[in-house]
Amino acid sequence: MLGEFSLAKLPSHGKLFVALFTVLFLVVIIWSAVVAALNAGLFGDFEYYGDYEAATDFEAAMADSESVTAPDWADSGEQVPIQPEDTLKFKEYEETRLPFAIRLKDNVEWALEHVSTQALLYFAVGLLFMFTSYGVKTKRFFFWTVSILIFLHVLGLTGHGFCWPANFLLYACGALILILMFVMGVMVLRDLKRKAG
C-alpha cells in the first residue's frame, strides 16, 4: 500500500500542507545557519552583547572605570583604566580556566539539545522525502549521509574546545547537515509539482 503512495497523489489541500510545512522547515534550516554563523563570529563578535544582563553589567563597569582609575597590577606604578577589550579578555580567560568536568558537562548538554532538534528535523523531512518520486539510491544516500553527519556532529559538539578534530567535526558536519537538509526540502517542494502518474 505504501509503495503505491507518493506526494504527487495527494489532494490539493494535502499538497498545500506539505508545501507549507516544508517552507517552515527551510526557514528553520536557514535560521540555524544564521545562528551558527553568528556563533562562529563570521559577522563579528556579538556573543557578549547578545545577553541583556551582560550588556547592562558592562555599561556599569565602564561607568565605574571612568570614575575610578584601576591600579596596574604589573607593578609599573602607572594607573591604567579598564577598557572594554580587557573585560572580554578576562571573560575568555575564565572560560578556558573552567574545570574539565564542567566544560565537558556543558558540551554534552549542548550536544543533547542539538541532536534532539536535528533528529526531529531529520525525521520530519525524511518522512516526506521517503514518499517523493526520486530513486531508491538517492533516498538511501540522503538518509545515510544525514544520519551519519548528525552522529559525527554530536561527537564534535561533545569534544568542542578539547581538540581540533572535534572542532572540525562540529563546524564541517554542522554545515553539511544544513546544506543536505535544505536540499532535501527543496527536492520535496519540486516533487510536489509533479503530476501523479
pLDDT grade for 93, boundaries at 50, 70 and 90: low
How many other C-beta atoms can be found within 10 angstroms of the C-beta atom of residue 146?
Answer: 22
56-86 in b/e burial notation, b at 16+ Cβ within 10 A?
eebeeeeeebeeeeeeeeeeeeeeeebeeee
pLDDT, one tens digit per residue, over 6-59 is 777 776 767 777 788 888 788 788 877 777 776 677 766 654 444 445 556 666
Same domain, 141 and 174: yes
Q: Do 37 and 105 reside in the same domain of the chain? A: yes
Task: Check residue 115 and give left, alpha or beta (phi > 0: left; psi -120 to 50: alpha).
Answer: alpha
Boundaries of domain holding 75:
45-97
185 and 147 within one domain: yes
106 & 196 share domain: yes
Same structural domain for residues 108 and 127?
Answer: yes
For the chain, give percent helix, strand, coil, nearest 5. 75, 0, 25
pLDDT tens for 164-196 read 899 999 999 999 999 999 999 999 999 988 766
Spatial separation of the C-alpha atoms in residues 131 and 1, rounded to whole Å? 12
Alpha carbons 160 and 178: distance in angstroms, whole number: 19
Q: Is 54 among the domain residues?
A: yes
Q: Is the separation of the CB atoms in 150 and 177 below 8 Å?
A: yes
Domain count, the chain: 2
Would residue 104 count as lying in a domain? Answer: yes
Q: 62 and 109, same structural domain?
A: no
In a domain, 62, yes or no: yes
* Mean pLDDT confidence for 135-160: 91
Q: Are residues 90 and 111 in the same domain?
A: no
CB 148 within 8 A of CB 191: no
Same domain, 121 and 77: no
Whether residues 53 and 143 fall in one domain:
no
Q: Are residues 77 and 149 located together in one domain of the fold? A: no
| Residue 1 within any structural domain of the chain | no
In a domain, 2, yes or no: no
